[in-house]
Amino acid sequence: MKRCLLVINPNAGGGQSVEELKRQLLAAVRPYQDLELVDLGVLVPDSVADMTDRLRSRLPVLDCVVVAGGDGTIADVINAMLEASAGRVAADRLPVLGIIPVGTGNRLANHLNLPLSFKRAWKAILMGATCPLDLGMVTVSALHGGHGGHGGDQVSRYFSLMAGAGIDAQIIENVRSVEKKHLGLFAYIWQGAMQAFTTPYAFFDITIDDKPTLTVKGIGATVANAANLLGEVLTLSPGSRTDDGLLDVCVIASKQRLDYWTTVVQMLMHQHSLAPDKPLKEGLSHFRGKHITITSRPRLKVQADGDVIGRTPATMTIVPQAIQVCVPTAEVMAVPLIEPLYKTAETLRYIIDELTRQQLP
């Protein structure tokens, strides 16, 4: 029996109440519970700090932490798991991560080809396989440390998708909840179009591993672990993987606003190939490395997996195979859902109970 903890984002669910979301999630897993395939607890945390505190005592006895939410919630759970496990749970004993996509973008779920329906998501978690997932670790200057963020306070955070300074942080900061509710993923696309005209230019100094520092004028620099924005249709880095031990560095160099739209066309046509030894040019340039440092003039806000966390300078480092994540297998997903088997077992149980009852004096 797999011991799981279901963590539900109280703000997820596309406008429905957390109780309704919880009811649907538990209804989808009930057949597996009745067949004694899973021992499930439920956690609806008040905050990330609350989640971290409550995970500390539970992690050693769990096989899987299942998160029901979007990319931001997944990032919060990953950070809470790793913080709560520090000094308590060995890396090879950390519970695996299960994902039930209930978010706006669900980009990590799409990158891993995870099912979107609750029933199939539970099936992948309880009957599928696991695979290693690299994480990035970003360290930045705190937003409110010292004098306007210029003090010595630093913030570190794991990310599974990407972290960046410039236009992507501007997009994250300007997307409103009402836009996400009504437009979904297109809220980010809409803001991307708007920010292309308003994000100020900056000078970026980017150092990748032990290579010479690159200096570029542009509107953004992004370091990605999972680089797909809209599946494989729109990606910062064609062929990017989440288990290769590398981070993808994507720099939007531009001298005029038109260069940004040239970059979008490049991405749609997958013409922005890896160019480790070529000089930066207008549009999107793509590099790979394990340790990246980004400074900017002026200092810019930095986002990680959808949260603005601080300002440049930023340092990003790869953490290879940091966690294991549940993924579907072709064999498991080809098998019919367990509900018919569950119904058959339930019927047989009823017949046996009836026969037993009728034989009693």
The per-residue pLDDT for range 100-110, each reduced to its tens digit, is: 998 777 889 98
Separation between Cα atoms, residue 144 and residue 147, nearest integer Å: 7
Distance CA 250, CA 274 (A): 10
CA distance readout (Å), 34 to 1, 63, 346, 353:
11, 19, 9, 16
Is residue 351 scored above 80 in pLDDT?
A: no
Confidence band for 197, pLDDT divided at 50, 70 and 90: confident
Q: Beta strands of 196-337 (E only): which ranges?
A: 202-208, 214-224, 228-230, 234-235, 247-253, 283-289, 291-297, 301-304, 307-327
Task: Give Cβ neighbours of residue 318 (< 8 Å, ≥ 6 apart).
Answer: 134, 135, 136, 137, 225, 245, 246, 247, 290, 291
What rounded mean pLDDT belongs to the chain? 82
Between 179 and 244, name the one with better pLDDT.
Answer: 244
Q: From residue 223, how far is each of 70, 117, 249, 305, 357 by CA, in Å?
A: 20, 30, 5, 11, 66
According to DSSP H, which parts of the chain are helical?
18-34, 48-56, 71-85, 107-111, 118-127, 167-174, 177-183, 186-198, 258-268, 330-334, 339-359
Token pair, residue 265, equals: 């066309």
At 151-181, the pLDDT tens digits run 568 999 999 999 999 988 988 888 776 566 6
**Contact (Cβ atoms closer than 8 angstroms) between residue 218 and residue 263:** no
* Residue 159: half-sphere exposure toward Cβ, Cα within 13 Å: 32
* Lowest-confidence pick of 51-55, 186-190, 212-216: 186-190
**pLDDT value at residue 120:** 93
Domains and CATH numbers, the chain: 2-127+329-356 (3.40.50.10330), 136-319 (2.60.200.40)
> How many residues does the structure list for the chain?
361
Range of 26-35, 146-155, 183-192 with top mean pLDDT: 26-35
Could you give the CA distance from residue 171 to residue 167 in angstroms, rounded to a whole number? 6
CB-based burial of residue 256 (10 Å sphere; 0-12 exposed, 13-18 middle, 19+ buried)?
Answer: exposed
The answer on pLDDT for 334 being more than 50 is: yes
User: Tell me: the pLDDT tens digits for 274-327?
Assistant: 454 454 556 677 889 999 999 999 999 999 998 999 999 999 999 999 999 999
The confidence band for 90, taking pLDDT boundaries of 50, 70 and 90, is low
pLDDT for 257 equals: 63
Query: Which three-class secondary structure state does DSSP give residue 184?
Result: coil
How far is 204 from 240, CA to CA, in rounded Å? 23
Higher pLDDT, 205 or 227: 205
Question: Who wins on pLDDT, 236 or 160?
Answer: 160
pLDDT bucket at 44, cuts 50 / 70 / 90: very high
Q: What pLDDT does residue 335 have?
A: 60
- Reported pTM: 0.83
* pLDDT surpassing 80 at residue 240: no
Higher pLDDT, 348 or 171: 171
Distances (CA, A) of 112 to 115, 130, 171: 9, 11, 24
Query: What does the pLDDT read at residue 250?
Result: 84
Task: At 63, list the tokens.
Answer: 């096989």
Per-residue tokens: 220: 């953004």
C-alpha closest to that of 161 among 170, 172, 153 = 172
Are 96 and 128 within 8 A, CB to CB? no
Q: Which residue has the tokens 């970026």?
A: 204
End-to-end Cα separation, the chain, in angstroms: 37
